[in-house]
Chain A
Amino acid sequence: MTDDLDNIEDFEAKETAGKLPIGWLILFWGLIIWGVYYFIAYTPGISGWSQAKAYEESVRK
């Protein structure tokens, strides 16, 4: 219960400091790959998809 100084060394584990869990890495890269796909598929200038066209199609059905 005193104003002891923090020892910053105690804040972080040494032996696991550089670890990246494999599941998390898969998530990280997976989302980037998905992002590339989604960007290509839903950008009017690339795929031709557009909100307005999608609407017209849904009405025609």
Chain B
Amino acid sequence: MSAYQYDHQTIKGFIISSVFWGVVGIIIGLWISIQMWQPSWNVAPYFTFGRLRVVHTNILGFGFGVGAIFGLNYYISMRLTKRPLLFPKLARFHLYLFNTAIALAAVSLFAGMNQSLEYAELEWPLDIGIVVLWIIFAVNLFGTIIKRKEEQMYISLWYIIATVIAVAVLYIVNNLSVPAGLFKSYSLFAGINSANVQWWYGHNVIGFIFSTPILAMFYYFLPKSTGLPIYSHRLSIISLWSLVFAYLWTGAHHLVYTPLPDWIQTLAIVFTIFLIAPSWGSVVNGFYTVAPDWSKMRTNYLTKFFIFAITFYGLQTVQGPTQGLRVVSQLIHYTDWVPGHVHMGTMGWVTMTVCASIYYVIPRIYKTEIYSVKVANSHFYLVLIGQLIFSVSMWITGIQQGALWKAVTPEGTLKYTFMETLVKNYPFWQMRTVGGLIFAAGMLFFVYNIAMTIRSGNAISGPASKGVR
């Protein structure tokens, strides 16, 4: 054993918090999926769709997603720098502040304090808290990396550094506002300019929370769990730089056919389509890494999580850019196609990678084996099926709705009223709830598996191992 003392307590805390927020977010997700076809499930004022939807996105994006990113990126960084975190107490404070912020975020959104900026809904006092959180993360991370004991920085560290910088810039700029009381503010930006700033943020915060830090996990945990080395160093370099460069140009693909100047839209579409290349750089690298030994898909339960996850990432990063094209946007923008797209990314790529990484980390922290590979396999198949039902039903109804909106009669009038197009969604929205339930059941298998693993770990090492270890 070495003299290195990794700060596992904080990492445990982040992982458990993340899983907790994940469960809460999924329950709210199921609830709002029912509200879509059963309006009596709206309970005014706190539990209407308009308020719950943002609780769902914030809890899952920032509670589950960012919680896992904090914990797992700390874990990865310590391993790759071969040293404990530079400021372990600050990391502990970071954990407490994180949970406080997410809880307050949920409460404030239930209460209707909402800036109406997608994925930046939180009002200004919480924004300040989140900036502080992020600065703590950045300080600890950069400190640890600068004081590292391994000269070469591995790919995962590049992605983590890029994430820390990009999110900071994005979050601060988009949330600039003038307070009007403690719970209300008005954006510094107005009209089409505010739209441009918001989607520059909105698209990139997805990119730098649901792509780059998750790729950091992928590049680290794939070789660790399979024992297979990453195929091409050069491919990962080109992918990183072209991804980080191109991403920031693309926000306006959310604003195709709006009054935003045409040239900004066109430029966004160009870079959006280009993004297929760097994204697929990682996909190709992942496939080629496992290619020498495909039997791992059967023999190593984590391999299939990672390979399916990167496959969904690959599908996501073709589908997403395609949606930016004017001719496609015309048809599917504003329809249920888009939630279908988003959930393939979040349920397929992000959640699978995060869960597999947690499966890898938890037994190692608790010095035990995973409780049950069988349960993990059930988890895998349930979330896979649940997510596919969800996404496919949304794509079908999205295309259908887009087509009905455009349908005209031979005499040149619209063929369907809005209501007629809405009711055709109902069977698909019900199907989505079914898919969500299956996915949620899969996640319960995951939670159970992790809980039992932690229990057996505690039983082995006993209470004596508590403390900074």
Interface residues of A (CB under 8 A from B): 1-6, 8, 10-14, 16-21, 23-24, 27-28, 31-32, 34-35, 38-39, 42-45, 49-51
Contact = CB atoms under 8 A, between A and B. Distances in A.
Nearest to B278: A28
B230 A3 contact: no
B374 interface: no
Contacts of A2: 1, 367
A31 B273 CA distance: 7
B234 A18 contact: yes
Contacts of B80: 6, 8
A5 B1 CA distance: 9
B48 interface: no
Contacts, number: 108
Contacts of B6: 3
A49 to B, nearest CB: 8
B232 A16 contact: yes
Interface residues of B, number: 46
**Cβ-closest 6 pairs across A and B:** A35-B270, A13-B229, A17-B233, A28-B277, A42-B266, A18-B234
A31 B277 contact: yes
Contacts of B242: 28
B273 A35 contact: yes
Interface in B242-290: 242, 257, 262-263, 265-267, 269-271, 273-274, 276-277, 280-281, 284, 288-289
A22 B264 CA distance: 32
Interface of B: 1-2, 4, 6, 79-80, 82, 150, 152, 154-155, 220, 223-224, 229-235, 238, 242, 257, 262-263, 265-267, 269-271, 273-274, 276-277, 280-281, 284, 288-289, 326, 363-364, 367-368
Given A1-B367, A24-B280, A34-B273, A43 B266 contact: yes
A5 B233 contact: no
A11 B285 CA distance: 13
Given A2-B1, A3-B2, A45 B263 contact: yes
Nearest to B259: A51
Given A8-B80, A20-B235, A32-B274, 8 more contacts: A1-B364, A2-B367, A4-B2, A20-B232, A24-B284, A31-B273, A39-B266, A42-B326
B231 A3 contact: no
